Amino acid sequence: MPRPILATIHPDALRHNLERVRQAVPDAKLWAVIKANAYGHGIERVFDALRGADGFALLDLAEAERVRQLGWRGPILLIEGAFEARDLELCSRLGLWHVVHCDEQIDWLAAHKTQVGHRVFLKMNSGMNRLGFAPGSYRSAWARLNALTQVDEISFISHFSDADGPRGIAHQLSVFHTATQDLPGERSLCNSAATLALAQDSQVRCDWVRPGIVLYGSAPDYPLHTAQDWALQPAMTLSTRVIAVQHLQAGETVGYGSTFTAEAPMTIGVVACGYADGYPRSCGTGTPVLVNGQRTRVLGRVSMDMLTVDLTPVEGAGMGSEVTLWGRASNGALLSIDEVAQAGGTLGYELMCAVAPRVTMVVAD
């Protein structure tokens, strides 16, 4: 028998979450962001459920090829654009739209031989200081692009640093709209957090939104809001089983470093999941977990292939019991990936992207 750990992708949840975004911004076009192999879910596993999107946004050229191979003829946007000049050949061949964020990318376009005009998204660094032209050099970049025969259409894009936090987006929004004021073309600003919380304002919403994390059922602004608050459903379940049971006396300890000590007699379950499966080592004592669909907690340190959980509060639990690390249990109980992530000092984003290759991943029917 294979080791019992399994990641299950839920197409019904992906469809629901996509619909949820549609409801939030009914008159905007929607890029489903599927970078990082669909946030760890697998592009091929999510494609069918997300094909109701208006386009797919990602950054790896090999991933763009996979989306075309799946038969998608609609828009695909490379959100970091070309990494070297010859990447533009693939853009021409596959009809990929691409971000232009620096002068070198314009140089490559100017030297590129192509029959088909490219659709480009000119990126502004409106304050995040990652990719993009500073507001002061944005218009000259636009003029350079606009003069190229290789360029068919220019759109405008920027990215918020604080759509989910108290700092907010007002400054970046004003910088962006001021610098693009009279330039003709479509615009795109919103990630998940901005799409759900701020896009009622048409200046924020613009023509295209770019939701990623919400599609996978994690709250972009946890713990301010939970996935449940946003009516999102988890698109991934990580589950496994109890493979051994130990009965502890008061004063006995658990695992490497003996970091957990039993205060009273208790029963613990040894679970087939460890940091080599992508479950973070930082999710030690106290991290929530479901056993037979009932909430309990991790005890002690997570090791490479195993972790231990408290079975004392879980009636009828023992050898072979179902363990849900995050997602949906068989009895319908949910454990939010955001809550697990927070216990380990990280984000749902990181956990879903980090499920290890040794974990079998299947699509639920």
Ligand X SMILES: *Cc1c(COP(=O)(O)O)cnc(C)c1O
Closest residue (Cβ) to ligand X? 212
52 in Cβ contact with 18 (< 8 Å): yes
CA distances from 278 to 4, 13, 101, 130, 334 (A): 15, 22, 33, 27, 20
Residue 165 CA to residue 227 CA, distance in Å, equals 16
- Report in angstroms how near the CB of residue 64 gets to ligand X at its nearest: 15
The active-site residue, picked from 35, 138, 216, 222, is 35
Residue 148 CA to residue 52 CA, distance in Å, equals 33
Residue 300 CA to residue 297 CA, distance in Å, equals 10
- Report in angstroms how near the CB of residue 15 gets to ligand X at its nearest: 17
Specify the residue, 193 or 266, whose C-beta has the smaller distance to ligand X: 193
Residue 113 annotated among the catalytic residues of the structure:
no
292 φ/ψ sector (left φ>0, alpha ψ -120 to 50, else beta): left
- Report in angstroms how near the CB of residue 130 gets to ligand X at its nearest: 9
Residue 3 CA to residue 304 CA, distance in Å, equals 14
Specify the residue, 35 or 241, whose C-beta has the smaller distance to ligand X: 35
Residue 35 annotated among the catalytic residues of the structure:
yes
- Report in angstroms how near the CB of residue 211 gets to ligand X at its nearest: 5
199-218 binders of ligand X (CB under 6 A): 210-213
- Report in angstroms how near the CB of residue 32 gets to ligand X at its nearest: 10
Specify the residue, 173 or 299, whose C-beta has the smaller distance to ligand X: 173
Give the contact letters, 150-169, x = binds to ligand X (CB under 6 A), - = no.
---------x----------
- Report in angstroms how near the CB of residue 91 gets to ligand X at its nearest: 17
Strand 260-261 to 307-310 pairing = unpaired
- Report in angstroms how near the CB of residue 159 gets to ligand X at its nearest: 5
Residue 288, preceding peptide bond in cis (omega within 30° of 0)? no
Is 93 annotated as ligand-binding?
no
Is 236 annotated as ligand-binding?
no
Specify the residue, 196 or 334, whose C-beta has the smaller distance to ligand X: 196
* Among residues 32, 33, 219, 355, the one that binds ligand X under rule CB under 6 A: 33
Give the contact letters, 343-362, x = binds to ligand X (CB under 6 A), - = no.
--------------------
Residue 212 CA to residue 349 CA, distance in Å, equals 10
The active-site residue, picked from 29, 123, 216, 256, is 256
The amino acid present at 276, given as its one-letter code, is A
* Among residues 55, 127, 220, 327, the one that binds ligand X under rule CB under 6 A: 220
Specify the residue, 25 or 306, whose C-beta has the smaller distance to ligand X: 25
Question: How many of the chain's residues bind ligand X (CB under 6 A)?
Answer: 11
Specify the residue, 79 or 169, whose C-beta has the smaller distance to ligand X: 79
Give residues with Cβ within 8 angstroms of 26, minimum separation 6. Answer: none
Specify the residue, 91 or 196, whose C-beta has the smaller distance to ligand X: 196
* Among residues 8, 17, 125, 191, the one that binds ligand X under rule CB under 6 A: 191
79 binds ligand X (CB under 6 A): yes
118 binds ligand X (CB under 6 A): no
192 binds ligand X (CB under 6 A): yes
Q: What residue numbers does the annotated binding site cover? A: 130, 304
Q: Give the residue numbers marked as catalytic.
A: 35, 256
Contacting residues toward ligand X, per CB under 6 A: 33, 35, 79, 159, 191-192, 210-213, 220
- Binding site for substrate, by residue number, is 130, 304
